[in-house]
Amino acid sequence: MSESEPHAAMPLRDDNPSDVDLLGFEDVVDVVESIVTRADLDPVTVGVNAPWGGGKTTVLHLLKRRLDTRSDVFCLLVSPWEYDNKTDPTTALIDEVLGGLQQKLEEGRTFTGKVKDTLTKLRRRVKFSKAMKLAATSAVSATLPGVGALIDLFDEGNTDENIPPDPTLQGFRSQFAETMASEELKKIQRVVVLVDDLDRSLPDTVVETLEAIKLFLSVKKMAFVIAADEENVANAIGRRLQTTGQPTTSRMYLEKIVQVPVRVPALSRDHTEEYLALLMLADLARIDDAVTQVKTSRPAKPRQLVQRLGDTLPADRRAEVELAEALTPLLHRHAMGNPRRLKRFLNAYWLRMSFAASRGVVLESNALAKLMLAELYLPDLFGQLLAWLSAGVAAEKVAEIEGGTGEHSAGVRDWGELPPNLPADDLAKYLLLAASLRGETIEEAALPAELREVATKLTSPSQGTRTQARKDAIKLTTPQQVAIVRYLASSLRQQGEPNSQKVLAEAISALAGAPGAAATAVEELQLMRQGMITAPVPISLLVHTQPAEFRALIESWHQSLELSDLARNACTEALGQP
């Protein structure tokens, strides 16, 4: 087996909508389908609202797959996000709708000469409108011979006789409405345009897409489904309106466009458990049967997924479903029912499992998942784990949490109750691996962000910044000062440049008066290769405070044969200070 094979076999899940409804959003699709096909809602625009990663695109794709089976409905999926680099999002959307309808009619061989001629003329008007807008706004418009030549940029083969008498969109809506109501299009009862990724678009694209829908395309037999984070769209509208001075609020503007808002629900605890399990099983040949089994067994007992899945679950895949059940309580809380966050956790889990295996770190799957929950969703706890590992007490502290003793937050206690209890050896291996993959030392990773900022200021090139930082650091709690000292001492023993060593040693000296700080610094500095010690270190360590631990350390350096003459002389000078 090649080294790449284990990675290639990882069950990573892409971010594309699934062909199978793993999310259980069939009820949402039912609602939207009933709205866009109702005769008394004509035309209609539906807003499918959910935050980032909430399953909006999945709803659209499931809806399209269902509508595509109907002969009386034409469904088109568009993404205005792709229009951002185009000249005019309004005409881009209109032309995409007309072009899709034209192609549908040609494929169905119901394309009469009259309808074909009308749609062709409508599309030509759209293209000329786009060309005129470019001519009006382009810095090179003065060099262009005319609209007829400019249209060639969009429509090769143009001739002057094909230029429409009114090359604008004035009156387009009424002409489009007549076309949709024509006898030739009688078999198509509804054209449904699914608009995805609008909330990713630039403010101008957002507003111009909505205007294309409201002002030009919203006629009888037309339905639009706009999937977006409503908050993001409203913010984009607000930014655009600010530049125009219009008094209309973004919410009022949006409400004029979207008549029926539909909220995609966040996954409940039970749905989170089902989705996690089905994601793990997504490669099964019988995944459709598994999804159906999960759906039909929801009201029934027993609730355990392994039993609910029955014979659709192969015996060798039971452990994955049991892992999903174990992960659900904490993942549901921290992922907030967001499908994309759940999928990303699983991808991160599988990647970490692969990295661990390639580096000889053997971890039980549920132990790895438990540690990853702490790393991704409980950063304070994970930083504490790294600090405990650095201090050599990680196993004891984790056992304390898992045993329910000591004072810890509710989230940490819940994490401790997750199976299994973590073996000391596996814990240390994982934490070292996690820190290295994040490009950090154990000490650096264990230091909270606010303390890391203090440590950075303590070693600033600016003397004024360092002086103020020392004053601020002395006001910290003893454990915080000790944590910074450990970080600074660890950094010093990895640093070989004299001035950098001097600044680090002075910062350590400034905090060495805190109980335990000097001993902590000595513990780290004893690990330093003595040939790396430069002359400024011994003197700088005693510049602010002179604890006995530091003097003993410098005496041991003074006797070392590895020390340079300059550094030994500095030790003599430092020890001679009163």
The ranges assigned to domains in the chain are: 26-263, 269-444, 449-575
Which residue did the predictor score with more confidence, 438 or 470?
Answer: 470
Span 400-406, average pLDDT = 89
In b/e form, how buried is each residue of 410-435, taking b as 16+ CB within 10 angstroms?
ebbeebbebeeebeeebbbbbbebbb
Query: What is the pLDDT confidence band of residue 507, given thresholds at 50, 70 and 90?
Result: very high
H or E segment and range at residue 377 = helix 365-377
Residue 143 pLDDT exceeds 70:
no
Q: Which residue has the higher pLDDT, 510 or 434?
A: 510
CB-based contacts of 425, cutoff 8 Å, min separation 6: none
Q: Does residue 233 surpass a pLDDT of 50?
A: yes
* Joined tokens for residue 39: 């005769």
Residue 6 has pLDDT above 60, yes or no: no
Residue 265 confidence class, pLDDT cut points 50, 70, 90: very high
Strand order through the sheet with 260-263: 73-78, 190-195, 222-228, 44-49, 260-263
Stretch 83-101: mean pLDDT? 81
Give the range with max mean pLDDT: 62-71, 360-369, 409-418, 485-494.
62-71
Q: pLDDT tens digits for 325-335?
A: 888 887 888 88
| Residue 230 pLDDT exceeds 60 | yes
- Specify the pLDDT at position 407: 82
In the predicted model, is pLDDT for residue 104 greater than 90? no
Q: What is the DSSP letter of 515?
A: T
Give the pLDDT band (50/70/90) at residue 252.
confident
Tell me what pLDDT residue 443 has: 63
Lowest mean pLDDT among 30-34, 54-58, 299-303, 424-428: 299-303
Centre a 10 Å sphere on the Cβ of residue 519 and count the other Cβ atoms it contains.
Answer: 13
Least confident of 351-365, 435-449, 475-489: 435-449
Q: What is the pTM of this model?
A: 0.69
Question: Does residue 438 register a pLDDT over 50?
Answer: yes
pLDDT for position 65: 93
Question: What's the confidence (pLDDT) of residue 567?
Answer: 93
Q: How far apart are CA 263 and CA 48, in angstroms?
A: 6
**Res. 224: pLDDT tops 70:** yes
223 vs 256: CA distance, rounded Å = 15
pLDDT at 84: 60
Q: What is the mean pLDDT of the segment spanning 313-317? A: 92
Would you say residue 204 has pLDDT above 70? Answer: yes
pLDDT confidence of 109, banded at 50, 70, 90? Answer: low
The answer to whether 290 touches 284, Cβ cutoff 8 Å, is yes
Does residue 405 or residue 426 have the better pLDDT?
405
Q: What pLDDT is attached to residue 141?
A: 46
CA dist 285 and 22 (Å) reads 14
**Encoding tokens for residue 11?**
């069950």
pLDDT digits (tens, 9 = 90+) for 522-535: 988 988 888 889 99
pLDDT reading at 144 higher than 50? no
324: pLDDT strictly greater than 60? yes
pLDDT at 148: 47
Q: Which range (161-175, 286-300, 409-423) has the least confidence?
A: 161-175
Distance in angstroms (rounded) separating the CA atoms of residues 380 and 233: 34
Q: What is the pLDDT of residues 24-44, one digit of tens each?
A: 899 999 999 999 999 999 999
Check residue 524 and give its pLDDT.
Answer: 84
Taking all residues of the chain, what is their mean pLDDT, rounded to a whole number?
Answer: 83
Please determine, for residue 121, whether its predicted confidence score (pLDDT) is greater than 50. Answer: yes
CB atoms under 10 Å from CB of 51, counted, come to 18
Confidence category of residue 64, pLDDT binned at 50, 70, 90: very high
Name the band, by pLDDT with cuts 50, 70 and 90, for residue 446. low
pLDDT at 213 over 70: yes
Q: Which residues pair with 195 in a beta bridge?
A: 78, 226
Residue 5 confidence (pLDDT): 43
pLDDT of residue 152: 47
CATH class of 26-263: alpha beta
Kind of pairing between the strands at 190-195 and 73-78: parallel
- Per the CB < 8 A criterion, the answer to whether 309 and 324 are in contact is no
pLDDT over 90 percentage in the chain: 33
More confident residue, 53 or 149: 53
pLDDT at position 301 is 61
Counting Cβ atoms within 10 Å, is residue 93 exposed (0-12), middle (13-18) or buried (19+)? buried
Question: Do the beta carbons of residue 302 and residue 308 sit within 8 Å?
Answer: yes
| pLDDT at 470 exceeding the cut of 70 | yes
